[in-house]
Structure formats: C-alpha cells, structure tokens
Structure 1
Amino acid sequence: MKKMGRFGFYGALLFILGLVLASSIGSAHAQLKMGFYSKSCPKAEKIVQDYVNKHIPNVPSLAATFIRMHFHDCFVRGCDASILLNTTSGEQTERQSPPNLSLRGFDFIDRVKSLVEAACPGVVSCADVLTLVTRDSIVATGGPSWKVPTGRRDGLISRSSEALNNLPPPFANINTLRTMFASQGLDLTDLVLLSGAHTIGVAHCSSFTNRLYNFTGRGDEDPALDRNYAANLKARKCRSISDTTTKVEMDPGSRNTFDLGYYNLLLKKRGLFESDAALTSNSASLREVNKIVKGSVKDYFARFGKSMEKMGRIGVKTGSVGEIRKQCGLVNS
C-alpha cells in the first residue's frame, strides 16, 4: 500500500473530523421532534396554547415582541433562551444589550413557564416555551402557523456584547444582512420572508430618524425613503432627530394584522428601517418581494412558516447539552 503523505494524513483527519461534526449537528437536529414531550409532559403544549389564547387577544401587540424576542434569541448562541437570563453578576446579559432594551413580555414567559413547571417540574425548557409562545401568539392574532418541533435545552451563558455583534441593526445594508443571515444558515429567501414580521408591531423613532434628518451627515433625507412619507413622519411623529420615545407603526393602520402590507410599503419606498429599504436595493431580493406581493396571503403564510421553523433550529442545544431551567431568568444553582 502506498504511504500516505503528511498532508494526505492531515487531510484525511480533517475529513473525518468534518464527518463527526456533521454527524453531531445532524443528531442535534434529529433530537428536535414533534411531540417531544408527549410522554414526559403530555399537556405541555396545550398549557402554553391555552394561556396564550386567553391573554394575547387582550394585548395583541405582544405577538410582535415575542417574534422579535425569539429572533433575537436564536441569532445569539442559538435558540437556547439565553435572551431571558437576568444579569446577576459580572457582564450584562443579552437582555440588557441595546438592541433588546425595548423588548417586553418577559413576565408573560415567566408565567407560562411556571404553569408548565407546576405540571411537569424540570421537564420543559424555557427555549421551547419561548418558541411555542411565539408561534401561538402569532396564530392567536390571525397570523400564520408553523410546525414547532421541540426538545431544545436552555443555555448557560448570555452576554450583552454578543447580542450587539450578532443582531442585524436597523441601518444594515443588503450585503450585511445577507452575511449575518448566512452565518445562521439562513438564505436570501429566508431574509425576505422573515422580514415580513415587520408587518406587525412598532418601532422607536431613534431607529430611523437619521433617515429623516441627517442621512449622510449633511442634514439630508435618505433618498430611498418616499418624500411624502418622510414629511408626514417629521410633522406628526418624529419631530426631531433626538426623539427616543415616540413609537411609529411599522405597517401603518394594521400593526396588529399579519398581512402583506409590509411588502406593499417596501415597493412604495415606505419601509421604516434602512434594512427594510435594503430589500429592494438588490435584484434578487426585490424579485422575492414582488413574488410575495403578487402571490396570495395563504402562500406567504406557508413559506413564512417554513422559514420560522428553520430559524427555530439555529444552534439548538439538545441531549445533555445545557439544562432545563427552573426559572427562565436564572440558571439553575
């Protein structure tokens, strides 16, 4: 047999290590499955759904914050509920990071978790609770549904700096967005589909006032923003570049309705964030936007759901990795 050279040996070793890594990733995904708690906590998903159906109709705006919370969780260390951890000592957690300071509803997640804990102590993870609450709250407000395979475990680490570095900012251009999504295993189609969640909820003026008052540092407007819309925002909503408190509907007139309004606004140059406008700055993403607008709501819901399920699998911890937190804001002692 011919002797294997030095580089041949290391090449073979790297190939084997690659197979091991791929196998471990595959097995982690395999451990997420529909009805994961069917034997260990058979009423878990119904407990979540019942609580959501009882309370979300009274505060439908929470649906928007939960889908954002889920997104922000998955993009930092994977979908492991690290965003729910409180700062107890040392470095601040993701929850205290600037992109997450406007999030709310943590107490809602805590109440759901306590109900599940009462039924099945130490069985259902906070990561699964957050994922289920997100899906169920969107459905409760008339939005799309999607499959939520369960079996996630909770992370032990949460760092504010990582949230700042890994979450796409509202001023991101299309190249930055594509790169950040690709790093999470999501493609351009996922980017466009998931951005549709901006059809519900609100944004603070501080996230986009530079587009109104000082886009290039010369006191100018962003030319990618409709002039009439910009004038209206200045006159009625964000009256100064320093406004940090006023909120603006992402999809004016239907902020609690999950529909195609967001994409129609994009084509009219009325997306609030630079990252919204970016979706029409690239021929491939613009084609996807037009495809959605020309299609049916039913088709969009189905495609959005598949991307949400895909996002919900990012970096999941399963098996013996991580833990099942007793309280979502604290790691177990």
Structure 2
Amino acid sequence: MTTAPASSPTRVDALVVGGGAAGLSAATVLARSRRDVVVLDTGEPRNAPAEGVHTFLGHDGVPPLELLARGRAELESYGGRVVEAEAVGGHLADDRVVVECADGSVWAARHLVVTSGAVDVLPNVPGLERQWGRGVVHCPYCHGWEVRDRRVVVLATSPAALHQAGLFGQLTDDLTVLVHDPSAVDEAGRERLEALGVTVVDGPASALVECDGVLTGVETPTGVVRAEAVAVASVVEARSAVLESLGVPVVDLEMFGRVAARHVEVDPMGRTSVPRVWAAGNVADPMSQVVMAAAAGTRVGAMVNAELVTEDQERRLAAR
C-alpha cells in the first residue's frame, strides 16, 4: 500500500474508495482491462476481528487480512494501485468525479466506485465489542459452524431475535434466548420458543462474563446465564460520507419491525442516482457476505469499463 501523491488533483480512469473484497474485485477487473485505476483504503475492513472467511468457495477459513493481501497483490500485478488515504468528500466537475482525502490529496476520476463497506453498531452491553467476531457472533452462515453444539445465548434486542434463534437452533440444542429488550419477545413468541425447547430468560444483559479473555456467560440482574457464544443482531451502518457529499441518499432497511441497516440504493448493475458514481458491497447491500461483495464488485468493474469503452469510442468518432 502506497501513500497519496503530493501533487493533486491526480487524474485516473477509475477511482475506488474502499479496499475490501468488493473494491479490490472491481479494481482488478478494470486493471485487467488496462484502465488506470486507484484504490483508496484505510485498512479497516469490517470483518477484521473474525478468524477466517467462510462460505467463499475455495477460500474457506482464510484470515480476512490474508485474503485482502492476496487481492492487493493480484491487483498490483495488473498495474492497479492501492493508496493509503481516507476519502472524506467529493463533488462532480464536468466529466469527472473529484474526491478529497483527509490528507489533503485530491483525485479526479472519470468514474467513481464506492465500496467503503459498513460498521456494525452493537447494543450497549459491556464486553460485546471486545468479544465481537470471537465469542460474539451475528451471522449463522459466517460463524455458525464454529459454534455448533456449544452453549449459545441469543441476545434478544428486537423481534429479529426469534428469526436468529431459529437459525442458531439448527446448529445447537443448547440454546437460550435472553430477553434484553422486553419488546423483542412477546407472549406468543415466548410460548413458541418454549414449545420448541428453547430456554427463555428475562434480562436485561448487564455485561459479558469472561475468564482469561474467553466468554463464559452473560450477567443479568438475577444471575449469570452461562454461554460459550452470544448471538446478537447488529445495526449495519454504511460508511457513506463520500456518497452523501455527492448527493447519494442513504436509506433505512427495515426487517422484523426494526431498522436493521442503513445503506445506499443502487440499480442491478451498481449505479447510484448520481451520474458516474457506483457502489458495491456492504455500503449498498448490508447483508452481503464476502463472496457476494466480491461478486458485486466484479460486476460493477465490468460495467464501469463498458461505460469507459463507449465514452472512448464517442470521443474518437467526434474527433473524426
């Protein structure tokens, strides 16, 4: 990863903001099409706390940072560049998208692809963030196999907990739903869970309990609920500063009667509502796993190159 150039604005064919699976995939497609492409990245992937990437065919168990290192090397082998910089804003200028960075550098690209990802906002329970990606999980498809047959506590903060309990109940028979928010589990939901053999405990949760850094339980006003893993639904917030500065709206995604995420809307090809501005990965689809984000980035990279090809042809024809 290199630093931003001292002189600016630096003009490129395509600029990618965010160097995760989506961004590197988009940039690699463009580099392989002989485009001058730069990725701006801060090195803070959403899945950094996880031990490995799962359900990515051929890459199962690869540590997230190792996967990204491989991706950067592949991109650079085709002439693409990854620059260490934080994009903080942008605007349109004629046939370019101009992006400003925190270090003062400025980039001007014919097309901008934003793959800045998202962050997980967790309930305010001491210990949740510290255990995030280890003892605390959210996705049964990302981490479920790793907690199979273990003592799992679903922290019920919204009605989504009933859905989550069903998914994790497929993986273990030792399942407890801890009602952190009373509105999360109504009487009918409680009866359903108990009829299915799921233990329901009233909270709220006051803290996680650890021994030598290993999760052992969840503290409540009436005692400690033993746990080897805690499943919790985060609120997924898009990293959208650049998109919002360009006028791309951020919208709420509601699931199970609550706001589960905030993201930007794109068309099936990844176009936003602003010309020359595209988005892929968790910033646009907050529920995407790594393999889905990579696929979306590949599609957007191909579409951007197709747009560039058409523009180049029109310019050559106009010159004649």
Which TM-score band applies after superposition, normalised by the shorter structure? under 0.3
Q: Higher strand share goes to which structure?
A: 2
Q: Which has the higher contact order (CA 8 A, sep 6+)?
A: 1
Q: Higher helix share goes to which structure?
A: 1
The two structures have a TM-score, normalised by structure 2, of: 0.27
The two structures have a TM-score, normalised by structure 1, of: 0.26
